[in-house]
């Protein structure tokens, strides 16, 4: 079966490899603010200033990035006892945005997320720890297409601030790498030159701004 047109034929030689920059801990942006000495408390993710993304290799030569546009989540942070912390996420599968309507339609079809049957992806933490003052390791089950699989997300605390509307915010950036086959997402196409059209390994990316609950 030929791959969808938006994926290309896979027959063109060569390709551009994308080199990604590091997260906000690098020097690209101005130094983050840190108005809170202790970020303990209950928070709600501000989805309009956050990104839940995923990246995959296409034809094994470049990286295609997508993001979920419709999601919500909460976090309870306990800095004195990190194990008492918790995180929950709810993601609408139909809200996928890869910059290509044809590709988006394929991603939400039965070949991938099957949004009509499984409209929601969820993440519920089962363990939280801190490896240092700014790094949090959040382990939990990601449920997609009716399958729950464990994963651990490493998040770097990137700052805290009170915004122009009086909201107290904290920021985190990080991610993890998964294999999409673990969730039964097995569609692919073999390349004549070897390898597959879509990489099995997917990078999940989290850029989170969360507002402290009143």
pLDDT in tens, 10-48: 333 333 323 333 444 455 888 888 888 899 999 999 999
CA dist 135 and 158 (Å) reads: 9
Query: How far does CA 120 lie from the centroid of its chain?
Result: 15
Question: What domains does the chain contain, in order, with CATH numbers?
Answer: 39-212 (2.40.128.110)
Q: Which of 174, 186, 114, 123 is nearest to 149 (CA)?
A: 123
pLDDT tens sequence across 163-193:
999 999 999 999 998 887 777 777 666 766 6
159 neighbors 172 (Cβ within 8 angstroms): no
CA dist 60 and 62 (Å) reads: 6
Task: Concatenate the DSSP letters of all residues of 87-151 into one string.
Answer: EEEEEEGGGEE-S-HHHHHHHTSTTTT-TTT--EEEEEEEEEEESSSSEEEEEEEEEETTEEEEE
């Amino acid at each position: 079966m030929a791959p969808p047109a938006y994926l290309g034929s896979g027959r063109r030689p060569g390709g551009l490899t994308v080199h990604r920059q590091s997260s906000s801990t690098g020097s690209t942006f101005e130094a983050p603010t840190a108005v809170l000495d202790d970020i303990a408390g209950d928070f709600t993710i501000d989805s309009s200033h956050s990104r839940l993304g995923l990246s995959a290799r296409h034809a094994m030569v470049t990286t295609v990035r997508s993001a979920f546009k419709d999601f919500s989540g909460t976090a309870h942070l306990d800095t004195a006892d990190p194990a008492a912390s918790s995180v929950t996420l709810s993601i609408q599968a139909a809200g996928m945005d890869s910059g290509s309507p044809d590709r988006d339609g394929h991603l939400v079809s039965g070949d991938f997320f099957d949004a009509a049957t499984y409209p929601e992806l969820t993440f519920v933490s089962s363990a939280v720890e801190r490896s240092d003052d700014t790094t949090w390791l959040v382990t939990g089950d990601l449920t997609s297409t009716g399958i729950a699989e464990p994963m651990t997300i490493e998040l770097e605390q990137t700052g805290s601030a009170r915004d122009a509307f009086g909201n107290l915010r904290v920021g985190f950036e990080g991610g993890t790498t998964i294999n999409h086959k673990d969730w039964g997402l097995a569609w692919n196409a073999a390349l004549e030159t070897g390898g597959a059209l879509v990489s099995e390994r997917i990078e999940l990316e989290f850029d989170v701004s969360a507002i402290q609950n009143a």
